[in-house]
C-alpha cells in the first residue's frame, strides 16, 4: 500500500491528486487530528509525532509513506530516513514533499524571486530556501509564516470573513519583501482548500502554486525509477482512512478535504 501521513487533513488534498494520477494502487491515510497543528511545536516533538505516525502506517501495511505535510517534511524527514528507517524498517521508504515542490517552483520563476507561505515550523526550518537554491542558486526566496490559517481551516471556518482577512494580511506581508516575486508556493497542504483566496490577493502575473499535482507527478516518476519498491505495492481499490481523533468535526472535515464521506478508523499513536 501507499501511505500518507499528515498532522491533520491537508494531506488529503495531495492524496486526491495522487489517486487521480495513480488509481490502481491501494492507499492508507493517517491524520493526527488529536494533536494538530504541528507548526508551533518544537522540532523534537514534531519528529516524535511523525515517527509514531509513520510506524502506524507501516503496521497497516504501507511499503512507502509520503509525509503529505510540509511541517513534518521540513522538520522530521531527514531524521526519519537516516535514523528511524535503518534501525526499525530498513526495507521501507519515506518521502517528503519539500524537495519535489522546490524543484518545480525553481523552474517556474522568470524573475528569480519566489515566495513561500507556510506554518511557523516550515518557515523557521528554512527548508524551502535551502532546497530551492540547491536547484538554482540565483533564486531569492522570501518567506512568510501564517500561524492562524491551519487552526481556522481545521475548524471548518472556510466562509468566515476573518479567514480572508488573514490571507490578505499574510500575502501582503510576503509581497512587501519584493515587487519581483512572480511565483508563490502554498507551503502547507491545508492551503489548497483556499487557493482561490490567495489568488485574489496577488497581482496578475504572480502564480500561486499548490502541491497536489506536483507530488502526484513526482511520485509517479519515483515509482517508475524504483521498480523494486513499486512491485511491492498492493494493487486494488482498497482505501483506509485513519485518525487519532474521531469526532463529528473530524468526520465533516474529512469529507470537506477529500470530497466525499469516508469511514474513519480511530487509532492511538
Q: How many CB atoms lie within 10 A of CB 188?
A: 25
Buried b or exposed e, range 194-220, using 16+ CB within 10 angstroms: beebbeebbeeebbbbbbbbbbbebbe
Sign of the Cα pseudo-torsion (107, 112, 117, 121, in order): positive
H or E stretch covering 95: strand 93-95
d(CA 36, CA 6) in angstroms, rounded, equals 9
Catalytic residue from among 69, 150, 167, 233: 69
Burial of 32 (0-12, 13-18, 19+ CB in 10 A): buried
Q: Is 69 among the residues known to form the active site?
A: yes
Catalytic residue from among 14, 188, 215, 233: 188
Residue 25 gets which letter from DSSP? B
φ and ψ at residue 144, rounded to 5 degrees: -145, 120
Q: How many CB atoms lie within 10 A of CB 78?
A: 13
Q: Is 188 among the residues known to form the active site?
A: yes
Give the DSSP per-residue string, 188-234.
SGGGGGGHHHHHHTS-TT-EEE-SHHHHHHHHHHHHHH-HHHHTTSP
Instruction: Supply the residues annotated as catalytic.
Output: 69, 188
Amino acid at each position: 500500500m501507499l501511505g500518507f501521513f499528515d498532522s491533520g487533513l491537508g494531506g488529503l488534498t495531495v492524496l486526491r491528486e495522487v489517486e487521480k494520477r495513480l488509481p490502481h494502487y491501494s492507499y492508507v491515510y493517517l491524520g493526527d487530528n488529536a494533536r494538530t497543528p504541528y507548526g508551533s511545536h518544537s522540532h523534537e516533538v514534531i519528529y516524535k509525532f511523525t515517527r509514531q505516525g509513520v510506524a502506524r502506517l507501516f503496521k497497516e501495511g504501507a511499503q512507502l509513506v509520503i509525509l503529505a505535510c510540509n511541517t513534518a517534511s521540513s522538520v522530521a524527514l531527514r531524521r526519519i530516513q537516516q535514523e528511524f528507517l535503518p534501525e526499525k524498517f530498513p526495507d521501507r521508504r519515506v518521502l517528503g514533499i519539500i524537495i519535489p515542490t522546490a524543484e518545480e517552483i525553481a523552474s517556474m520563476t522568470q524573475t528569480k524571486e519566489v515566495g513561500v507561505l507556510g506554518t511557523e515550523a516550515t518557515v523557521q526550518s528554512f527548508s524551502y530556501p535551502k532546497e530551492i537554491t540547491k536547484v538554482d542558486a540565483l533564486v531569492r526566496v522570501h518567506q512568510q509564516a501564517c500561524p492562524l490559517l491551519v487552526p481556522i481551516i481545521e475548524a471548518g471556518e472556510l466562509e468566515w470573513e476573518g479567514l480572508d482577512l488573514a490571507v490578505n494580511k499574510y500575502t501582503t506581508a510576503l509581497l512587501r519583501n519584493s515587487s519581483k516575486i512572480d511565483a508563490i508556493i502554498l507551503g502547507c497542504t491545508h492551503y489548497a482548500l483556499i487557493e482561490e483566496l490567495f489568488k485574489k490577493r496577488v497581482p496578475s502575473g504572480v502564480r500561486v502554486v499548490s502541491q497536489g499535482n506536483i507530488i502526484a507527478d513526482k511520485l509517479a516518476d519515483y515509482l517508475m525509477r524504483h521498480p523494486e519498491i513499486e512491485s511491492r505495492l498492493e494493487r486494488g481499490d482498497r482505501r483506509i482512512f485513519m485518525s487519532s481523533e474521531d469526532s463529528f468535526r473530524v468526520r465533516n472535515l474529512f469529507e470537506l478535504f477529500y470530497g466525499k464521506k469516508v469511514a474513519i478508523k480511530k487509532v492511538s499513536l
